[in-house]
Structure 1
Amino acid sequence: MAHDQHRQHEHDHPVPEHGLGHGHDHTDMDWAEMAPLLEAQAELYTPLYRQAMTWLAREVTEPGLVVDVGSGPGVVSCLFADAFPGARVVAADGAGPLLERARDRAARLGVADRFGTLTGDLPGVLGELEYPADLMWASQSLHHLGDQRAALVALAGHLAPGGTLAILEGGLPARFLPRDIGIGRPGLQARMHAVEEDSFAKMRASLPGSVAESEDWPALLTSAGLEHTGTRSFLLDLPAPLTDEARAYVTSSLSRLRDRIGDDLEATDRATLDRLLDPGDEAGLHRRQDAFVLVAHTVYTARRPS
C-alpha cells in the first residue's frame, strides 16, 4: 500500500503533540533526541485521543484506509489501528527517523501487517497513496503549511467519496500551574501564553508561501469542497499531584518554552520560570505538589460528497 522513501523534514509549535512533517525545513532538528519527548507527550495525551476516536467512530464506521497526516513517531497512528481493527493505517511524515520508530511501535503492538508509512513533504507525498483514504487525520499539522486553504484542498483530493477529514487545530492552551504559585507575580502562564501567541504568529508569517487566514476551520473545510459534519473539543485533565511521567512532561515542556520565548518574557517572569525549572529550588516543578495538566483540543470533521 504505502512505501518508504528517505527524505527528512520538520516541525514544532508550542509543545509538539506528535511529530509532523511539513513544508518548512528544519533539517537541523535532531529527531533521535526529539523522538522520546514526542512519544512521551502523545502517550500522556492518549486519553484525549481515544475520546476523539470514539467520536470519529460514530461517523466513520468501518474505514478501509486511515491516514495520519504528520504522524511523527506513530503513537496516534497505532491508536487508530487499535480503534479501527479492520483498517489499514498509513503514517505520513517528513521525518524518516520518526517513521522508523512508528514502524517499530506497530511491530511491537502486533499491527505491522496493516501498517505503512510515507516519508516526504506534506501534502505532496500523499500522492503516493495507492487508493484514497476513508479517514484522514491531521493533528496540529496544517498550521505548519504556509497556505492552509490550499493544503485542505490537497487533503480533500485524497479522500474517497464519502470519506472524512478530521483536523485537530486550536482549542485551549495547556495549563500546568495555579494562577498564584507563591513566587513571582500571579498570572505567569497567562502572560507566557500571550508571548507564545506572538511567537506563533511570527512562525506562521515566516513560512514559505504564507497566506493569512481567518481560522474559521468549518468555513475553510467548506471552501475545500467538503461538507462540515461536526466540531467537538476533548479534555485532558491530569490533576495534582502528577505522576512522574506527567511531571517530566510539564518540566520538559516549560524548559523548551524557556528556550524559545524566554528572551521575550519580562525579566521577573523569566526569573520565576528559571526557579520553576531549577531542580534544587524548593518552589520548583521537581518538588511542588500543585502542578497539573489541563488542556482542550478541538477536532473539526468534514466529509467528501459521495
Structure 2
Amino acid sequence: MSEHQHRHGQGHQSGHHHHGHVPAADFDWDALAADLEQEAELRACAVTGAAQWLRSLHGAAGEVRRVLDVGSGPGVIAGLLADVFPEAETVAVDQSAALLDRARTRSGGRLSVQQADLPAEFGKLGEADLIWSGNAIHHLGDQQAALTSLAATLRPGGLLAVAERGLPLRYLPRDFGLGRPGFQARIDAAHEDGFSTMRAELPGATEEVEDWPAMLGRAGLTPSGTRTFLIDHPAPLARPARERLHTQLARLRDQLTDHLDPEDSRTLDALLAEDAPTGILHRPDAFYLAAMTVHTARKA
C-alpha cells in the first residue's frame, strides 16, 4: 500500500497494487516515482500546514519520538513531516522497495524506511507517536480494520492523522470555451462511479459509511479535530503544474474512455493536445485548486 495508490481518490492516483499485473521487475518505478513526487510537491504547502497543526495538537501530549508515514511512496511527504518534527525519527513505510530506495536517496539518509505490505503486515510497523496516512486507507478492503490496526500502533497520547477525500481538483472555469459547460463535474461523476467499483473489487471489501471521525472513535481513539488545507496554484500556472495536469488528464482518458459522451471525449482530447493553444499545457486560464481534509484522533 502506498501514496501512489491514491490515484482513484481525487482523480490523481491509482489503485491498490498500483502496477496491476505487471511484474515488479518490469514496472517503470522511476516514472512512477517522478509522477508521485510531482503530485506531492504541488501539495507541499498544504501538507506542511497540516503537519504544523499536528504539532500544535500534540502539544502537551508529550515528545514526538517516532513518526510514521504509512503509504509514503518516494518520501516527499515523509520529508515534510521530518522538517516539522526534526527531533523525531521519521519512517517512510511502503510496500515498494524501489520507492523506499528513492525516499532514502532523496532525503540524503535523513528518513528511515520500512517495507510492509498492508494490511497483512500492520504488526511490523512498531510503536509511533504520530502516524500519517494520506489517501491510502481507502485502498484497503476493510477500512475500519485498518484504522484499528494503526490505532494499536500508537503510543499513549499519540496521534493518528488520516488525509482522505477533501474536494476534487479544479483546473479550468466552468465554461472554458470547449464543448458543453460543466465538463469537470461530469468527469467527477464518472470518476466517482469508477472509485466505487474499485472499492467493491478490493480483497475483503467491506461497506462503510465514511464518517472518518466516527471510524476513528470505533478504533478506540478520541477524535481531536478535522481541518481542511487548500492546494492553490492560481493562473497563470508554472510549467510543472501544467505537466501534472496533462498527466492526470491523460490518465483520466484511459480510465474513463467508455464512460464519456463523444463531445466530452473530444474536449478531453483538445485539452491533451500538446501543441495547440486549447491544450492544458498552454491555456492562460488553467489553475490548480484542490482541498485536502485531515482527520485526527488521539490514543488515551
Report the TM-score, using the length of structure 2 for normalisation. 0.92
Structure 2: which 5+ runs fail to align? none
Partners of 2:192 and 2:80 in 1: CA distance: 30
Q: Aligned in 2, Cα 1:93/1:20: closer, same or farther, shift over 3 Å?
A: farther
Partners of 1:288 and 1:259 in 2: CA distance: 22
Partners of 2:4 and 2:79 in 1: CA distance: 21
Match of 2:52 in 1: 54
Alignment partner of 1:174 out of 159, 169, 176: 169
Percentage of matched positions with identical amino acids: 48
Partners of 2:3 and 2:86 in 1: CA distance: 30
Partners of 1:97 and 1:284 in 2: CA distance: 33
Alignment partner of 1:163 out of 152, 158, 161: 158
The answer on whether the counterparts of 1:90 and 1:117 sit within 8 Å (CA) in structure 2 is: yes
Question: How big is each residue's C-alpha offset from its partner over 1:244-290, in whole Å with a ceiling of 9 and x where there is no partner?
Answer: 11111111111111111122111110110001101132211122100
Which amino acid in 1 is paired with 2:69? D
Q: Aligned in 2, Cα 1:173/1:10: closer, same or farther, shift over 3 Å?
A: closer
The Cα RMSD (Å) is 2.3
Question: How big is each residue's C-alpha offset from its partner over 1:66-104, in whole Å with a ceiling of 9 and x where there is no partner?
Answer: 000000000000111111010001111111111110000
- Aligned residue pairs total 293
Partners of 2:16 and 2:128 in 1: CA distance: 19
Alignment partner of 2:296 out of 294, 298, 301: 301
Match of 1:206 in 2: 201
Q: Aligned in 2, Cα 1:282/1:37: closer, same or farther, shift over 3 Å?
A: same
Question: How big is each residue's C-alpha offset from its partner over 1:220-263, in whole Å with a ceiling of 9 and x where there is no partner?
Answer: 00011000010000001111000011111111111111111122
Match of 1:278 in 2: 273
The answer on whether the counterparts of 1:21 and 1:72 sit within 8 Å (CA) in structure 2 is: no
Partners of 1:254 and 1:15 in 2: CA distance: 14
2:211 is the alignment partner of 1:216: yes
Match of 1:86 in 2: 87
Q: Aligned in 2, Cα 1:53/1:281: closer, same or farther, shift over 3 Å?
A: same
How far 1:8 sits from its partner (Å)? 10
The answer on whether the counterparts of 1:218 and 1:300 sit within 8 Å (CA) in structure 2 is: yes
2:5 is the alignment partner of 1:11: yes
Partners of 2:11 and 2:298 in 1: CA distance: 24
The answer on whether the counterparts of 2:5 and 2:135 sit within 8 Å (CA) in structure 1 is: no
2:128 is the alignment partner of 1:127: no
Which amino acid in 2 is paired with 1:238? H
Q: Secondary structure at the match of 1:164?
A: strand
How far 1:146 sits from its partner (Å)? 0.1
Structure 1: which 5+ runs fail to align? 1-6
Match of 1:68 in 2: 69
Alignment partner of 1:289 out of 280, 284, 289: 284
Q: Secondary structure at the match of 2:107?
A: helix
Alignment partner of 2:113 out of 106, 111, 117: 117
Partners of 1:19 and 1:282 in 2: CA distance: 27
Partners of 1:24 and 1:151 in 2: CA distance: 19
